[in-house]
Amino acid sequence: MRVGELSRATGASTRSLRYYEDRGLLSSERRPNGYREYGEEAVRQVAFIQDLYRAGLPSRIIRDILPCTAPEPPAGDCTRLLARVREVRDELARQERQIAQRREMLDRYLAGTATPAGLGDLGRPGGDLGCGPR
């Protein structure tokens, strides 16, 4: 199928498909007239690439993952790669916890229940941000 057909089948723009190809994530055959020709498996591959991008993986990791999804994946490399993907996932979980802690702290300040660390009794009553009436 040609690039426009693949675009319609996947919802990916033709520009995105060319980008995937430039990054080594997707391959096509060139016809004598210069048009790109994609195999039927490209629809599934583009959907997978888009899922991995939405998951926050960079193209260099996606490029390494794709061979592991082949009918006959390379031996050994996929185990190490799976560990790397777990690291990325764990880092996202750590960032989520950190963001939740920061949001909770801001909620406490906004509710007037927090005092800046280290100020103890020197902080304003209620620990508000100093934006209320004096």
Domain ranges of the chain: 1-57, 75-115
pTM above 0.75, yes or no: no
* Phi, psi (deg, nearest 5) at residue 30: -95, 130
- pLDDT (tens digit, 0 to 9) for every residue of the chain, 134 residues total? 999 999 999 999 999 999 999 999 999 999 999 888 999 899 999 999 999 999 888 898 899 888 888 778 777 678 888 888 888 899 999 999 999 999 999 999 888 887 777 665 544 554 445 555 54
Q: Tell me which fold the domain 1-57 belongs to.
A: Multidrug-efflux Transporter Regulator; Chain: A; Domain 2 (1.10.1660)
Q: List all residues 6 or more positions away from 124 whose beta carbon is below 8 Å from its beta carbon.
A: 115, 130
